[in-house]
Amino acid sequence: MQKPKNAQEHIAQLREAIAGNPDCGNSHYNLAVALMGLKKYDEAEACLNDAVGCSPTLAEGYVMLGSIALQREDVDGCLYYNELATKSRAGFAVGYGNIGFIELQRGNVDVAIKNLQKAIVHNSKFVQAYTTLANAYLMKGLVDESIKTSLKALEVQPDFPIPHNNLGIAYLEKEEYAKAIEHFDKAQAMGYEVPEALLKEVEPHRA
């Protein structure tokens, strides 16, 4: 197969591949990804349904269906598809991570923590899951657990600013102002906008 010159040609090649092998779930999934790149969400959704129909263990397909649901502001639908993703393939960390993120947004902190912990068990390098879990621990008042989790996130990805912001908040809770300032400064140096209220709170404690 020749390398496609553009997205339309790529899509045409994928459609041709599907015509030759309509039961290949991966081909339907790849076509859906290409269509989503062009914001053709309805067509992509149909392809993803074909993909998971052909390959029921294609957990990525359910996650993408969840993304389309979220695009339509259908949070329940997004949650439903990510739950299907975790059921379709054992140990699928992305599904658990997404469930944790959604549940945290809905204020279900305990459910969020449980799912984010599962995400990390199944993928110890899942930096977004560590970051969201650190937030969840802060919301529960589990400050020391939040600090440990943010430090773990930085072990995985040292140049990720959000864990530094979370550490700043955690150390502020503990009234360890020097450490809070250090991490807020690092977050800002990496391009993260630390909320003005937090910066004002630590400002009197700068040396």
pTM metric for this prediction:
0.90
How far apart (Å, rounded) are the C-alpha atoms in residues 119 and 97? 5
Residue tagged 């560590």 (tokens): 130
Mean pLDDT by 10 residues, the chain (207 residues): 71 91 93 93 96 96 96 96 96 97 97 98 97 97 98 97 98 97 97 96 90
Joined tokens for residue 36: 């989503």
Dist. CA 17–CA 26, nearest whole Å: 10
- Are 11 and 31 within 8 A, CB to CB? yes
| Contact residues for 13 (Cβ-Cβ < 8 A; gap 6+) | 1, 2, 4
Q: Which domains does the chain have, with CATH numbers?
A: 7-90 (1.25.40.10), 126-207 (1.25.40.10)
Q: Give me the count of residues in the chain.
A: 207
